[in-house]
Amino acid sequence: MGKTQRFVWLFALAVAACGQGFALHQYVPSHHVHHASRRRAHLRRVLWNPVFRPSHESLLRQNEEIDRLELPRIQNQAELDQLIASEELVPIVEGPSLKIDRRLDPDRRYCRPWTRDFLEDLSDAYHKQFGAQIQVNSAVRTVQVQKKLRRHNRNAAPEKGETASSHLAGITVDLQRRGMTREQVQWVEQYMVPLKNLGLVEPEEERHQWVFHVAVSGRYSDWRESKALAGETDTQEDDSLVSSHDLQQ
């Protein structure tokens, strides 16, 4: 092969190699990138498909129940201490079926008596089903605490107004959902569906904090007592004892 032919052959090989190298870094049109982003966002929505999706209407219902019960929104530590001393707020007690996040301030491990009744019933049933504990991540808060929370958590409810956080009245608890299996999450959802239909709880499945946010109606204890008097222990059966219409009045 002559020098000229060898040069042409080597030049062709070099061009081919460069072409392949550039192919590894080829330009991807922006519309393809946007399409891929939309596809990933759609996948996330499919994977997060809660039974109790947070909504403005849910916040309104929670505050309507607080107003019906004529409960105060606890302003500060002094008011919180007074409610604890008068036993209008009761301590959340750990046990075989219930635990509390260690990061939760001891002063905030309190709730209304009927909320504690709900916690005991749910955690006992959950422990019986799975042999595991329900964890409380948050309970009562003061307006001062809520203001601080909103400074670094843009998803937190406001401390005042018609959609204010129901934690401020002590009727609400946040229950750890992260770490639960799909079966466990679905079990908790199905446990609360009939209670929500009766107007006894107003749950939300928060996406960013990954908890069950559950506001409990003041009627829960009366309903629970009615079930006990009737000799019933399963909260998911025979909802005829309480009229859903009556609970909405």
Closest-CA residue to 120 (of 212, 218, 221, 219): 221
Phi, psi (rounded to 5 degrees) for 22? -65, -30
pLDDT digit of tens for each residue in the chain (249 aa)? 566 566 555 565 555 554 443 333 344 455 554 555 565 544 444 456 889 999 999 999 999 999 999 999 999 999 999 999 999 999 999 999 999 999 999 999 999 999 999 999 999 999 999 999 999 999 999 999 998 887 777 677 877 899 999 999 999 999 999 999 999 999 999 999 999 999 999 999 987 789 999 999 999 999 999 988 887 655 444 443 344 334 333
Looking at residue 205, what is its pLDDT? 95
Helix (H) / strand (E) element for 175: namely strand 172-176
CA–CA separation, 91 and 110 (whole Å): 4
pLDDT at 158: 76
**What is the dihedral angle through the alpha carbons of 14, 17, 19, 22, rounded to the nearest 10 degrees?**
-120
